Structure 1
Amino acid sequence: MRKRETNFKAACNAELCRMQQELEELNIRRQERALDAGGASWDDEYRNAKERVEKARLQAALLNRQITLEQRRLDSAPSQAEISQYQRRIIELYNQMAVKHRETKQFYTLHNTLLDVKAYMQREIDLLNSIDDVQELTSKESYKESFVENLEKVLKGVDETLDKVTSKQKEQQTIREQLSDDYQYLLDKERLYHKTVDDFKRVEKVVTGLEFIACKVADTWSSSFRFACELENDTIDA
């Protein structure tokens, strides 16, 4: 594109110089022959040449303006190096976002875990306080029954929480196993890729060697053929 632009500019400038030179020659000729036939024909030719030069100048100006606009458009488009740099930067930002997302997820998990620990500790404290506050009432049969019921409710809540934690643990274990399988699959793909590249390089070397041998054989055959032809010609001449 730039080469064509340079060639086009050079052609326009050459044409403009030629027409200006023609105009100057016509002007000189007009002055030399101004007295012949009143100079009317030369004046007309001079005006026509001048109009052509003005049109050429106008066309050259328009073309220069168009070339300038195209040059700006080309300069505004990113180069291959800039595109590669943008791509690397986007990949870096994506990796940073992935790391930040993983850290944030870990913080949320830690926060939820600490909330659960806090709830369990608060329940334990409340239970101990209730036991300490009602030591005098333990001798009453009605309170014993109420206390046992409360303990059963607490035990039921603990069992439910344990089931929930166990279910969540199994879910995380399943996710971990799936990620491990995906990672192993990608490792196998990577090994296959490297093996394929190595095989391709070996085949390329073999093909290069065969091409070299084929060229040598062709040269040898060509030399033998020429020698046989020369020998046959010598035999015919003899």
Structure 2
Amino acid sequence: MFSNVPRKFLKNSDSAEVDVREDEEQAIKFQEIIDLLVAAGYFRARIKGLSNFDKVIGGMTWCIESCNFDVDVDLLFRENLTIGQKISLTEKIVVMLPKMNCPHRIEPHQIQGLDCIHIFPIIQWLVKRSMEKREETGDLVRSFAISQFDKNYSFLEDHDKVIEKKTIIPYIKSAKKAFEPRRCFKRKDPPLSDEIDQVRSTLLEYGSLAITSVLSKTSTLQGVSNSNAKEQEENSDDLMKSMSIADDNISRLSASAVGSIVGMQAQEIAEVTKQYASLNVGAEENSMSTLIGAIAALDKQKTNLKSREQKLKKEKDALLEKVSETIERLNKVRTEERSVQDAFQAMKDMETDENRSIIQNLEQLLLVHDNMKDQEHKFREQCKADLNVFQEMVSQVESSELREEEMHTVEYEEQKEIVNKLRLQLAKKNRAIASLTRQLDDVPGRSELNQYQRRFLELYNQVSAKHKETKQYYTLYNTLDDTKLYLSKELTLLNSIQDNYNEAMSSTSGKEQFLKQFEAIVAGVDKNKAKVERRCADEKIRRDALSQQLVTLIEQQRRYVVAVQQLTTECRKNEALLAQLRGP
């Protein structure tokens, strides 16, 4: 009679109703789910004290969280949920599965009832998705760890590359030092007033022979005519004529210069002495007070002159030292020059017809070497001039980029304010949506009403079973009480018969009276028996009627279940058609 019902209700007077399909196939699928969760890493499913619902729903929640999808429930430390919490949790999971593009569908009551046959493919898909996500996250974390390791440490095979870098750095420094700017000329005349001429003069002092080409390029960039370029070349030639070759010892003073400086100081000393003498003569004519003031001033002037004389002596000693050093260097240079001349003369003496060609080749090679050096010097100067031009161009580009960056910064601030305003509006909308969502959640849906109906039915069945059990206890008590009453009456009657039997049998009148009383007692017993048999017949009639009513109600229940299934199917079809009409 209950073969068409997909789920069966196990009723027992000692236990509550359980809405679970308990068969071998469900048990096998449940064990496969547990093994799959444990293999994926959800070891909480091994705990024996947890209920089956907690294991399955906890595994589903763990897989969804591993896939970076949020479920607004924390199940790690919440076990044995109430009916309302279970309903809410299962509905949220059912809502999350389509968002994750799960190919399988399930209803909340199937999760609540542990329909493992339908739960297993969903668990299998979630575990596969979570493992793929963990592999992607693992690769990302591994690459980040390797990059952080390479910043501070290195392997043995990379040690040679580090050594090569360390050996290259000194060569780079030596090359930079070799190509430093050096002063080749010095201007004899005083500095020029024109700024452009000052720039040209400075470039010529540092040996910029390619100044003409640079100026021609700049003049071309600025739109200067050919006549102006020729004038610039002539000015460069005039500036070059006013230059002298700069020597390393140019900063040192000659002996004649030192003598002239000492002579100039001696003249100043003589003038001061004459002034002092004149003041001394004039002091005799002045008064005593004036004489004292003049003497004090002269003493002060004398001390200043002595200090100045000491400074000049120190400068003179320093200059003499420099002169001596210069003379020593000059002598060294002369000795070197003599040695070079001797070597050159020895080379000329060694010249013969046989090695003359070799010496000529050497001279040509030396000339080529000198020309190469000159070309190298010119190329360096050309590169420096080009570098200056390019640096100016880069500075102009950077200034334009700074202006664009400032404009972008202002625009960014404006857009940031607009975004902040939009965020505030969005927050208001989200709060309104949240309040409306809470109001909608307060209204139970179709699935919730179905769950409530089922739970009320379970509660009604429990109350009905308890009431039936209590009623049976009352009926048993009443039956036993009636039995006790009848037995007590029978015992009292038998005791009275036994007590009055000997006395009644002693006389004829007493014997007749005893028989009449005994017949009256038998008649009363028969009357009571008939009354009880009539009551029993009435109860049997009532039992048959209730049995017939139970059969009718069971038939109506079967039809109701079939109708509910058909209604559910039609509702799903209706929802699918509505979704098709609404479109994507």
TM-score, normalisation: structure 2 = 0.22
Larger radius of gyration: 2
User: TM-score under structure 1 normalisation?
Assistant: 0.48
Name the structure with the higher helix share.
1
Higher relative contact order (CA 8 A, sep 6+): 2
